[in-house]
Amino acid sequence: MKNKTKRVFWGFFSLDYKAMGEYLGEMAEKGWMLEKVGRYIAKFRAIEPKKIKFYVDVFKEAGPLTPEKTESSEEYRKLCQESGWTFITSQDYLQFFYAARDSQPVPIQTDEEIEQKIVEHTLLKNELRGVLIFAILAIFILVRNIPLKYTNLLSFTGVTSTFLFPVLCILTAIPAGYSIIWMIKARRNIKNGISITKPTWKSARRRTMLFYGPTWIIILFYSMSFIIDSFFKPDIMAFVFLGPGIGTIFGLTIRYLVKNNKIAKDAVLNYFVIGMIIVIIFVQIAGRLIFDWSEDIYMTDSIPDGYPIITLEEITKKTSEGSVRREFKPGMSPIVPKHHTYYEYENLGDSARSINIKYYKAINSYFAEIIFNGITEKLEKGMKWRGMTIFTKNIITDDEMKNLWGMDNLALTEERDELIIQKGNIVLHVDNYSKVMDFNDKETRKLIIDRFFPGS
């Protein structure tokens, strides 16, 4: 019985610290004593069911990057013990104490106005700081994705971000709203000589579940999206995870060392700067290795069934005379269940020829048109490099050619080396940079339509 432990979801809002004591009292009556508290998980050990008093206090000299044991914290806990409270554990600013039910310990905080000021300068400030950082990041991401980018429709992660990220932003604003309302009510009560409203643990847990439930569901969707996308683009996903993953591990390590007095609090900034430099250098080196490794992933001589392509040999009607390199990159998403890129390059010694085809099959014509417009806009804008815009293309439309091809939408680059066509839910982008095909040629047109738009 003594060795039996269990972990439960914690997740209280920090401002509900008064309700935590009530919850811990009910757990003790059920035979579970608090042992350790994390941000989301609390650890309990089995005891004989009994009634115990619990008190959760806010210690202003603690914090996320403050060692667990300092001279001031040890003195504070000693004073609390002299007042009849036994220290259990801490979680950032929150300090957890207990006392026997039949004892009469002295309340740790007796002046509600002072307590409210401590809470505002610690818990409230900490909550709002986190929300502010997320809000800045969220606004940056939302602005970059408005209007809707077609590339977001091509992966599970992109679709999840497009449709669920705004919901996540709204959910994240809930703690901020609750914190502000709590502060206004507390100040008003103190001004009117009324005690600060103490939330019940049931209302606190209900409020927490209302917030964390949908949030964890969205995080689950994100996790599943990353896993699925990793099957199709292992190099890209590895690179995306690399920086944040290494940075998170480094940050948690620094926090652990600080909390356990292995690193002085004053030296955290120095370690942070050094760590950032190491992470940047590591990501740069690892990134190059990942992209070198990815070249072998996509090189293939066989194409899976169900993915339409046309080869150089079919277009030119000539047998390969030089070394041929083929790359095939498949993908899928809930909006575009099937899309792929096929690249073929033939080295003829003193010359070369190539073809690059991107195929998109969306769930309906609405999203197909978004993809079509997105590709043409991207070609027109080119790309930014060292403050300059390069690789811009002039896009032209040819209604006569569109009718000849029987397409809903058709666009060409002015040099006529790229063709973008859309019919129904299918979009095709053909890069004819080496001029191996003539888009006005009847046989070429028939080959492309029969292969990529069957039944048109």
Residues comprising the chain, all counted: 456
> Which CA distances in Å does 202 have to 12, 14, 21?
11, 15, 12
Q: Which of the listed residues 228, 257, 275 is the one where a domain comes to its end? A: 228
> Does the residue 307 lie in any domain?
no
What angle is formed at CA 229 by the lines to CA 342 and CA 343, rounded to 5 degrees? 10
Q: Are residues 117 and 224 in the same domain?
A: yes
> Does the residue 14 lie in any domain?
yes
Q: Are residues 406 and 324 in the same domain?
A: yes
Q: Are residues 262 and 355 in the same domain?
A: no
> Does the residue 304 lie in any domain?
no
> Does the residue 105 lie in any domain?
no
Q: Are residues 125 and 30 in the same domain?
A: no
Distance CA 380, CA 394 (A): 6
2 CB-near residues (< 8 Å, 6+ apart): 45, 46
Distance CA 414, CA 409 (A): 16
**How does pLDDT run along the chain (456 residues), one tens digit per residue?**
456 889 888 878 888 888 888 899 999 999 999 999 988 889 999 999 999 999 999 888 887 777 778 888 889 899 999 889 999 999 888 999 999 888 888 888 767 777 777 777 777 777 777 767 777 767 776 676 677 888 889 999 889 888 888 887 777 777 777 777 777 777 776 666 666 666 777 777 777 777 778 878 888 888 888 888 887 777 665 656 666 677 677 777 777 777 676 666 666 666 667 777 776 776 666 666 655 555 556 666 677 888 898 988 888 887 777 788 888 888 899 999 999 999 888 887 777 888 899 999 999 999 999 999 999 998 888 655 555 555 678 888 888 889 989 999 999 988 888 899 999 999 999 988 778 888 888 898 999 999 999 876
CB 150 within 8 A of CB 333: no
Q: Are residues 253 and 342 in the same domain?
A: no
Which of 156-190 are b and which e, b meaning 16 or more Cβ less than 10 Å from the residue's Cβ? bbbbbbeebeeebbebbebbbebbeebbeebeeeb
Quote the tokens at residue 151.
Answer: 């590339």
Q: Which helix (H) or strand (E) holds 288?
A: helix 268-298
Q: Which of the listed residues 79, 100, 121 is the one where a domain comes to its end? A: 100
Q: CA torsion angle for 285, 286, 287, 289 (degrees, to 10)? A: 90
Q: Are residues 324 and 444 in the same domain?
A: yes
> Which CA distances in Å does 271 have to 63, 68, 130?
18, 19, 21
pLDDT at 27: 92
> Does the residue 75 lie in any domain?
yes
Q: Which of the listed residues 183, 202, 228 is the one where a domain comes to its end? A: 228
> Does the residue 301 lie in any domain?
no
pLDDT at 1: 47
Among residues 170, 259, 253, the alpha carbon closest in space to that of 210 is found at: 170
Distance CA 401, CA 449 (A): 13
pLDDT at 267: 65
Task: Please tell me the total count of domains within the chain.
Answer: 4
pTM: 0.71
pLDDT at 357: 93
pLDDT at 337: 93
Residue 392, classified by CB atoms within 10 Å of its CB into exposed (0-12), middle (13-18) or buried (19+), is exposed
Q: Are residues 79 and 133 in the same domain?
A: no
CB 99 within 8 A of CB 24: no
Backbone phi and psi for residue 113, each to the nearest 5 degrees, phi listed first: -65, -45
> Does the residue 358 lie in any domain?
yes
Distance CA 413, CA 40 (A): 54
Over its C-alpha atoms, the chain yields an Rg (Å, rounded) of 31
Q: Are residues 253 and 172 in the same domain?
A: no
H helix runs in 233-267, sequence order: 234-259
CB 76 within 8 A of CB 116: no
Residue 433 DSSP SS3: coil
Q: Are residues 18 and 36 in the same domain?
A: yes
> Does the residue 106 lie in any domain?
no
CB 354 within 8 A of CB 374: no
Q: Which helix (H) or strand (E) holds 101?
A: none
User: Where in the sequence is the domain holding 323, given as residue range(s)?
Assistant: 312-452
Among residues 55, 46, 44, the alpha carbon closest in space to that of 20 is found at: 55
Q: Are residues 41 and 90 in the same domain?
A: yes
Distance CA 237, CA 30 (A): 46
Q: Are residues 262 and 332 in the same domain?
A: no
Q: Are residues 349 and 252 in the same domain?
A: no
Backbone phi and psi for residue 94, each to the nearest 5 degrees, phi listed first: -80, 135
Among residues 359, 308, 357, the alpha carbon closest in space to that of 336 is found at: 359
pLDDT at 312: 86
Q: CA torsion angle for 89, 94, 100, 102 (degrees, to 10)? A: 180
Quote the tokens at residue 409.
Answer: 């939408």
